[in-house]
Structure 1
Amino acid sequence: MDLRLDGLSVVTDGRSLVRDLSLNVASGRVVGLVGPNGSGKSTALRCVYRALRPSSGTVWVGEEDLSRLTVRRSAQVIAAMTQDGAVDLDFTVEEVIALGRTPHLQGNQALSPRERELCERAMDRLDIRHLARRGVLTLSGGERQRVLLARALVQEPEILVLDEPTNHLDVRHQVELLSLLRGSGLTVLVVLHDLNLAAAACDRIGVLREGRLVTAGTPGDVLTPELVHEVFGVKASIVSHPLTGDPQLLYSLNPSP
Structure 2
Amino acid sequence: MDLRMDGVSVTVDGAELVRELSLEVPGGRVVGLVGPNGSGKSTALRCVYRALRPSRGTVWLDGRDLGALSLRESARSVAALTQEGGSDLDFTAAEIVALGRTPHQRGNRPLDAREREVCRSAMERMDVAHLADRGVLSLSGGERQRVLLARCLAQEPRVLVLDEPTNHLDVRHQVGLLSLVRRAGITVLVVLHDLNLASAACDRVGVLSGGRLVASGTPREVLVPELIERVFGVAATVVAHPRTGAPQLLYSLTDETEKEGRTL
TM-score, length basis structure 2: 0.96
Aligned to 1:69: 69
Aligned to 2:55: 55
Deviations 1:167-202 (A, max 9, x none): 000000000000000000010000000000000000
Distance across 2 between alignment mates of 1:209 and 1:150:
31
Name the SS for the 1:239 alignment partner.
Answer: strand
Identity %: 70
Question: Is the contact between residue 4 and residue 60 of structure 1 (CA under 8 Å) also seen in structure 2?
Answer: yes
Counting only pairs closer than 5 Å after superposition, residues 144-155 of structure 1 correspond to structure 2 as 144-155=144-155
Name the SS for the 1:196 alignment partner.
Answer: helix
Question: Is the contact between residue 234 and residue 255 of structure 1 (CA under 8 Å) also seen in structure 2?
Answer: no
Question: Is the contact between residue 32 and residue 189 of structure 1 (CA under 8 Å) also seen in structure 2?
Answer: yes
Q: How many residues align?
A: 257
Aligned to 2:191: 191
Distance across 1 between alignment mates of 2:253 and 2:32:
25
Aligned to 2:40: 40
What's the CA shift for 1:75? 0.4
Counting only pairs closer than 5 Å after superposition, residues 85-234 of structure 1 correspond to structure 2 as 85-234=85-234
Name the SS for the 1:148 alignment partner.
Answer: helix
Gaps of 5+ in 1: none
What's the CA shift for 1:256? 5.3
Paired letter, 2:135: G
Paired letter, 2:117: E
Distance across 2 between alignment mates of 1:86 and 1:124:
20
Distance across 1 between alignment mates of 2:123 and 2:53:
33
Distance across 1 between alignment mates of 2:254 and 2:38:
24
Name the SS for the 1:4 alignment partner.
Answer: strand
Question: Is the contact between residue 228 and residue 234 of structure 1 (CA under 8 Å) also seen in structure 2?
Answer: yes
Deviations 1:109-157 (A, max 9, x none): 1101000001111111011111000000000100011000000010011
What's the CA shift for 1:14? 1.2
What's the CA shift for 1:255? 3.2
Deviations 1:207-249 (A, max 9, x none): 0000000010000000000000000000000000000000000
Aligned to 2:245: 245
TM-score, length basis structure 1: 0.99
Distance across 2 between alignment mates of 1:142 and 1:45:
22
What's the CA shift for 1:253? 3.3
Distance across 2 between alignment mates of 1:101 and 1:11:
33
Distance across 1 between alignment mates of 2:227 and 2:253:
17
Question: Is the contact between residue 239 and residue 247 of structure 1 (CA under 8 Å) also seen in structure 2?
Answer: yes
Name the SS for the 1:28 alignment partner.
Answer: coil
Question: Is the contact between residue 233 and residue 254 of structure 2 (CA under 8 Å) also seen in structure 1?
Answer: no
Question: Is the contact between residue 8 and residue 20 of structure 1 (CA under 8 Å) also seen in structure 2?
Answer: yes
Runs of 4+ in 1 over 2 A off after TM superposition: 253-257
Distance across 2 between alignment mates of 1:163 and 1:144:
15
Distance across 2 between alignment mates of 1:161 and 1:33:
11
Counting only pairs closer than 5 Å after superposition, residues 22-33 of structure 1 correspond to structure 2 as 22-33=22-33
Aligned to 1:14: 14
Residue 82 of structure 1 pairs with residue 49 of structure 2:
no
Name the SS for the 2:255 alignment partner.
Answer: coil
Deviations 1:4-28 (A, max 9, x none): 0000000111111000000000000
Question: Is the contact between residue 26 and residue 187 of structure 1 (CA under 8 Å) also seen in structure 2?
Answer: yes
What RMSD, in angstroms, separates the aligned Cα atoms of the two structures? 0.8
